[in-house]
Chains A and B, each alone.
Chain A
Amino acid sequence: MFRPVVTASVLPFIGRRIRRSCALWGVLAAAAVSACAQDTGDSINEFADAGMADTQVSQEYAWLELPPGFPLPAIPDDNPLTPEKAELGRYLFYDTRLSANQTMSCASCHLQELAFTDGRPQGLGSTGEFHPRSSMSLVNVGYLSTLTWSNPLMTSLEYQALLPLFGRSPVELGMADQEAELFRRLGESEYADLFEQAFPGETPAISLLHVTQALASFQRTIISGNSPFDRYMQGDVGALSASALRGLELFFSERAECFHCHGGFTFTDSVDHAGVGQAARPFHNTGLYNLDGNGAYPEDNQGILEVTGRAEDMGAFRAPTLRNIAVTAPYMHDGSIADLNAVIDHYAAGGRTISEGEYAGVGSESPFRSPLVRGFVLSESERADLIAFLESLTDETLLTDPRFSNPFVESP
Chain B
Amino acid sequence: MRSTTVVLLVALSTTALWSCAEDDTTEANDHADAGIFDDAGHADGNDHTPDGAGADQQSVTLNFAAVVGTQPLDCESTYSDAIAGTRFALKDLRFYVSEISLIDAAGNLHAMTLEEDNAWQGDGVALLDFEDGTGSCSNATPDTRTSITGSVAAGEYTGIVFTIGVPEALNHVNPVEQTGPLANVALHWSWMMGYKHFQLEGSLNESGLVLLHLGSKGCSGNPPSDFACSISNRPRVELVGANPLSTPVVLDLAALLADSTPVDDEVFCMAEQSSACEELLGTLGLDMASGDPISDSETLVFRFGE
> In the complex, A307 Cα to B220 Cα: how many Å?
9
- Tell me, yes or no, whether A153 is within 8 Å of chain B by CB: yes
Whether A208 is near chain B, meaning CB under 8 Å from some CB there, is: yes
* A209 beta carbon closer than 8 Å to chain B: yes
Which residue in chain A gives the minimum CB-CB distance to B209?
A169
- One digit per residue, 1 when the CB lies within 8 angstroms of any chain B CB and 0 when it does not, for chain A 100-116 equals 00000000000000000
Which residues of B have CB within 8 Å of A160?
190
Q: Which of B186, B191, B193, B217 has the most CB of A within 10 A?
A: B191
B176 and A177 contacting across the interface, CB-CB below 8 Å: no
Is A151 in contact with chain B by the CB < 8 A criterion? yes
Q: Which of B176, B177, B213 has the most CB of A within 10 A?
A: B176
Q: Smallest Cβ distance from B104 to chain A, in angstroms?
A: 39
Which A residues, 149 to 185, have Cβ-Cβ distances below 8 Å to chain B? 151-156, 158-160, 162-163, 165-169, 176-177, 179
Q: Are A159 and B140 in contact (CB under 8 A)?
A: no
Task: Count residues of A near B (Cβ-Cβ below 8 Å).
Answer: 28
Are B220's CB and A212's CB within 8 A? no
A184 → B minimal CB distance (Å): 15
Which among A162, A179, A208, A209 is the interface contact of B190 at CB below 8 angstroms? A162
- Shortest Cβ distance from residue A401 to the other chain B in the assembled complex, whole angstroms: 29
A334 at interface by CB-CB < 8 Å: no
Q: Contact check, A162 vs B192: say whether CB atoms are below 8 A apart.
A: no
- CB<8 Å pairs between A and B, sample of 18: A153-B191, A153-B219, A155-B222, A159-B174, A162-B175, A166-B190, A167-B191, A169-B211, A176-B139, A177-B139, A177-B140, A177-B186, A208-B176, A209-B174, A212-B176, A306-B272, A307-B192, A309-B272
CB distance from B103 to the nearest CB of A (A): 34
Q: Which residue of A lies closest to B133 (CB)?
A: A177
Does A308 make an interface contact (CB < 8 A)? yes
B161 lies within 8 A of chain A by Cβ: no
Q: A166-B190, A168-B186 are in contact. List 12 more A-B contacts (CB 8 A).
A: A153-B193, A159-B190, A160-B190, A162-B175, A162-B190, A163-B191, A167-B190, A176-B185, A177-B139, A177-B141, A308-B218, A309-B231
Residues of chain B contacted by A212 (CB below 8 angstroms): 176
Q: Cβ of A156: which chain B residues have Cβ within 8 Å of it?
A: 223
Q: Is the CB–CB distance between B191 and A166 below 8 Å?
A: no
| B235-274 to A contact mask, C-beta < 8 Å, 1/0 | 0000000000000000000000000000000000010110
Q: A153-B220, A176-B185 given as contacts; is B201 within 8 A of A163 (CB)?
A: no
B188 CB-CB contact with A under 8 Å: yes
Contact with A207, one of B176, B192, B231 (Cβ below 8 angstroms): B176
- Please measure, in the bound complex, the distance between the C-alpha atom of A154 and the C-alpha atom of B219, giving whole angstroms: 11
Residues of B within 8 A of A179 (CB): 185
Set of chain B residues within 8 Å of A176, measured between Cβ atoms: 139, 185-186
How far apart are A206's CB and chain B's nearest CB, in angstroms?
12
CB proximity of A243 to chain B, nearest CB, Å: 42
A169, B196: Cα distance in complex, Å: 12
**B175 neighbours in A (Cβ, 8 Å):** 162, 208
Residues in A neighbouring B140, C-beta threshold 8 A: 177
A309 touches B218 (CB 8 A): yes
Q: Kindly list chain B residues whose C-beta atoms are within 8 Å of the C-beta of A159.
A: 174, 190, 193, 223
Chain B residues in 8 Å Cβ range of A158: 174
Residues of A within 8 A of B (CB): 151-156, 158-160, 162-163, 165-169, 176-177, 179, 207-209, 211-212, 306-309
Spell out B's residues near A (CB within 8 Å): 139-141, 174-177, 185-186, 188, 190-193, 201, 211, 213, 217-220, 222-223, 231, 270, 272-273
Shortest CB distance A109–B (Å): 17
Please give, as numbers and ranges, the residues of chain B lying within 8 Å of A211 by CB-CB distance: 176
What are the residues of chain B within 8 A of A163 when measuring CB–CB?
Answer: 190-191
Residues in A neighbouring B191, C-beta threshold 8 A = 151, 153-154, 163, 167, 307
Chain B nearest CB, measured from A304 CB (Å): 11
Q: Which residues of B contact A177 (CB under 8 A)?
A: 139-141, 186
B219 partner residues in chain A, CB cutoff 8 A: 153, 307
Q: Looking across the interface, which residue of chain B has its beta carbon closest to that of A211?
A: B176
Cβ-defined partner of A153 (8 Å) among B201, B223, B272: B223
State the CA gap A152–B219 with chains docked (Å): 9
A153 to B228, CA, bound (A): 11
Given the known interface contacts A153-B219, A207-B176, A309-B273, the answer about A169 and B213 at a Cβ–Cβ threshold of 8 Å is yes
Given A159-B174, A177-B141, A309-B231, verify A152-B220 contact (CB < 8 Å): yes
Q: Is the CB of B192 within 8 A of A153?
A: yes
A residues within 8 A CB of B270? 169
CA–CA, A176 and B139, complex, Å? 8
- Chain B residues with Cβ below 8 Å from A153 are 191-193, 219-220, 223
Min CB gap B96→A, angstroms? 16
Closest to B229 in A: A153
* Bound form: Cα–Cα A168–B91 in Å: 12
Residues of A near B193 (CB, < 8 A) are 153, 159
Taken together as a complex, chains A and B put the C-alpha atoms of A324 and B174 apart, in Å, by: 33
Q: Name the residue in A155, A177, A207 with the highest tally of chain B Cβ atoms < 10 Å from its Cβ.
A: A177
Give the distance in Å from the alpha carbon of A153 to the alpha carbon of B226 in the complex. Answer: 12
Nearest CB in chain A to that of B211: its residue: A169
Beta-carbon contact of A209 and B177 below 8 Å: yes
Chain B residues near A165: list those with CB within 8 A.
Answer: 185
Collect the chain B residues with CB atoms within 8 Å of residue A169's CB: 211, 213, 270
Distance of A168 Cα from B174 Cα, bound (Å): 18
Instruction: Identify the closest chain B residue to A175 (Cβ).
Output: B185
CB distance from A252 to the nearest CB of B (A): 32
Q: Which residue of B lies closest to A163 (CB)?
A: B190
Q: Identify the closest chain A residue to B227 (Cβ).
A: A153
Give Cα distance in the complex from A305 to B177, angstroms. Answer: 29
